Amino acid sequence: MDYTILLLAIPFLMFLIIGLLGYKMTPKFSGLLGSAGLAVVTALAYYTAYRYFFTEFGQAADGARETIVMFNYTWLDLSNASRPDLMIQIGMLLDPISVMMLVVITTVSMMVHIYSMGYMHGEEGFQRYYAVLSLFTFAMLGLVVATNIFQMYIFWELVGVSSFLLISFYFTKPSAVRAAKKAFIVTRFADMFFLIGILILSYYTKTFDFLKLTAVDPEAQHATLVFSTMGGKMFMGLSVTSIALLLIFLGGAGKSAMFPFHIWLPDAMEGPTPASALIHAATMVVAGVFLVARLFPVYFFEAPDVLHIIAYIGGFTSLFAAIIACTQTDIKRVLAFSTISQIAYMMVALGVSGFGGHDGLGFTASMWHLFTHAMFKATLFMAAGCIIHAVHSNEMDAMGGLRHYMKKTYYTFGIACFAIAGIFPLSGFFSKDEILVAAFEADKILYFCQTFVAGLTAFYMFRLFFRIFFYNEPKFEHTPHEAPANMWVPLCILSVFTIFSGWFPFSKWISTDLIGYDIHTVWPIAIGSTVVALIGIGTAYVLYYKKNDIPDRIANTCKSFYTWASHRFYIDEVYLFITNKIIFGGICAAIAWFDRHIIDGFMDLLGWTTNTVSEETKEIQSGSVQQYAWVFIMGVITIVTLALYL
């Protein structure tokens, strides 16, 4: 154990200090304090990443990356003779993906901290906001460095709580409260499956530890070690391992907003925009991807069927969310659906990935896309925050022609749009291209699906771009102005990451078997996806560069489909129908009747009986001593008579 514990300790301390003493601080001081604490954490994370990737600290003897456990406290010891390893520990595990996540989280969180000082300026509850940001950073860092699945679960829930607190930041607004409850309940519902999965898995493997779970058997190159004891146990046509892993994935699907648990994410945009950038775009929502990546060897060797399911759920979700994104008019909603779509991309990449060397391309591509996506999506959200700040509305109709007023936002938003559309040489091009290559090698259907989604992505992002910065200017109530420096500087920093993170040698750093390998841009696929993206951009240009009636005519020609898509395919209504009509109205009403009439009736019967009997017999206790004496004497006489003559 050394300095690395500070990575967790500092954000937690900041949470306690700002949370408990915030009311005594000026808002500015609390913001600066939180940012300063996070700056230290960021520096430590970068230092850790440098040590891990560039010095012998992270190198194992055989040239692979080492998996290092920095410290590991036993928190709850459940071991006995038959299961010596079953204990819940809190520790820190450094391996390529957790180190990469440390960098992603601290970078985005740092930028959000700085940005929020401008964006949240003058808000009531500024200190509370910073306290919860620190809590969130702490929880997310604890999640990615978890040494065992139970620690991950604990921090997973903490992340959920801080997300709830940030969405409901404007708790006087009913819509924010509704959104926060929705997010919490939906993700919590999915987490229930996660917990059940953990319990099944640990029941059979007798361990929570990631290192033990994912240890690959060096003899037989096709199995993980601990699962040999589970072989053959079947339940409902699937092996127990598959069921456990499927349940764990469902937990991840809840946090990562995969279909059908995606409904909470668009509503989560009720929170402050920088918090959305941090939580619902860049870091928390990739927790599900990270979970699958963390358990990837287990999925690959023990439950390849589940991996297929993951790939197809991912493919469907990405298409589904991309179609909806094309029809939304709230700019944050468009970005939210874009996030769902892009995270589904990462899931697809994990789902089609193989293991070892170049076969593990999907895994690398997924993590790479996670990194680049975090950067450009945070840029997009923060730029959207600047725009909302300038025009005081989320709706596209209030925007247009903003390029004249907000140069810096215009450029950074444009860079991020090109990146997410996958245009060379920005980062999105490389990561998306590798995902498509991996999909092409594994499954042609998914490849075509994802390529089409890439085109849709380019279309809806540039629809947003042209609609905000070009188009016809509406009547502004007051002239929009560029955001202050503490808002555009983080934007520029993130744009730099957006531009250059595609050139990082990710395959050297992150691979399934921890051994670096070379990847090459596969030009036919790259050109194909670029052409598709350009078609998307071109379409958006035609439709939205200037005000015209083509979009309306297109919407009218396929009116019913458009209506369905703009209502998000009525998935929310389906949920409401199931919960309100079927669960509350049907099942719960019957249960309530049973409770009220049978259970309560039985209890009432018991009470009534006791009451009546005591009412009838209370005359015995008259309080009259003479009566007692009479009974007593008679009793004695009776007993004596019986004793004498019987």
- Give the interface with other proteins as residue ranges (CB under 8 A): 623-626, 629-630, 633
Residue 584 C-beta: closest distance to other proteins, Å? 48
Of 254, 505, 546, give the one whose Cα is nearest residue 400. Answer: 546
**Closer residue to other proteins (CB): 593 or 632:** 632
Kindly report the three-state secondary structure assignment for every residue of 246-305: HHHHHHHHHHCCCCCCCCHHHHHHHCCHHHHHHHHHHCHHHHHHHHHHHCHHHHHHHCHH
Residue 620 C-beta: closest distance to other proteins, Å? 14
**Closer residue to other proteins (CB): 236 or 644:** 644
CA distances from 530 to 241, 465, 525, 534, 536 (A): 40, 18, 8, 6, 10
**Closer residue to other proteins (CB): 608 or 628:** 628
Long-range contacts of 442-449 (CB under 8 A, 24+ apart): 442/311, 442/352, 442/353, 442/354, 442/362, 443/311, 443/352, 445/315, 446/311, 446/312, 446/315, 446/348, 446/351, 446/352, 449/315, 449/318, 449/319
E-assigned strand segments in 25-86 = 68-77
- Which two tokens mark 432? 């998306």
Residue 624 C-beta: closest distance to other proteins, Å? 7
**Closer residue to other proteins (CB): 550 or 633:** 633
**Closer residue to other proteins (CB): 81 or 625:** 625
Residue 618 C-beta: closest distance to other proteins, Å? 11
Count of helix runs (H) and strand runs (E) in the chain: 27, 4
- Residue 70 dihedral angles phi and psi, to the nearest 5°: -75, -40
Of 178, 415, 381, give the one whose Cα is nearest residue 285. Answer: 381
Residue 633 C-beta: closest distance to other proteins, Å? 6
Of 379, 431, 349, give the one whose Cα is nearest residue 111. Answer: 379
Residue 16 C-beta: closest distance to other proteins, Å? 58
Buried b (16+ CB within 10 A) or exposed e, 596-633: eeeeeeeeeeeeeeeeeeeeeeeeeeeeeeeeeeeeee
Residue 610 C-beta: closest distance to other proteins, Å? 19
**Closer residue to other proteins (CB): 589 or 639:** 639
Residue 635 C-beta: closest distance to other proteins, Å? 13
**Residue type for 607, please?**
G
**Closer residue to other proteins (CB): 21 or 629:** 629
CA dihedral 180→269→484→425, nearest 10 degrees, is 140
Long-range contacts of 219-222 (CB under 8 A, 24+ apart): 222/301
Residue 630 C-beta: closest distance to other proteins, Å? 5
**Closer residue to other proteins (CB): 503 or 628:** 628
Dihedral-angle region of residue 146 (phi above 0 means left; psi in -120 to 50 means alpha; beta otherwise)? beta
Residue 646 C-beta: closest distance to other proteins, Å? 22
Using CA atoms, how far apart are residues 178 and 552, in angstroms rounded to an integer? 32
Residue 611 C-beta: closest distance to other proteins, Å? 17
**Closer residue to other proteins (CB): 479 or 626:** 626
**Closer residue to other proteins (CB): 560 or 624:** 624
Residue 627 C-beta: closest distance to other proteins, Å? 8
**Closer residue to other proteins (CB): 3 or 628:** 628
**Residue type for 216, please?**
V
**Closer residue to other proteins (CB): 24 or 618:** 618
Using CA atoms, how far apart are residues 419 and 428, in angstroms rounded to an integer? 5
Number of residues written out for the chain: 646
Residue 626 C-beta: closest distance to other proteins, Å? 5
Report the half-sphere exposure of 593 (CA within 13 A, side-chain side).
6
Residue 642 C-beta: closest distance to other proteins, Å? 19
Contact 354, 360 (CB under 8 A): yes
- Which two tokens mark 137? 């950073």
**Closer residue to other proteins (CB): 587 or 633:** 633
**Closer residue to other proteins (CB): 228 or 638:** 638
**Closer residue to other proteins (CB): 605 or 629:** 629
Residue 168 C-beta: closest distance to other proteins, Å? 55
**Closer residue to other proteins (CB): 563 or 611:** 611
Contact 399, 387 (CB under 8 A): yes
CA distances from 441 to 66, 74, 422, 522, 545 (A): 29, 43, 20, 11, 37
Using CA atoms, how far apart are residues 30 and 21, in angstroms rounded to an integer? 9
For the chain, how far is it from start to end, CA to CA, in angstroms?
88
Residue 609 C-beta: closest distance to other proteins, Å? 23
Of 140, 116, 165, 161, give the one whose Cα is nearest residue 41. Answer: 140
Using CA atoms, how far apart are residues 343 and 320, in angstroms rounded to an integer? 12
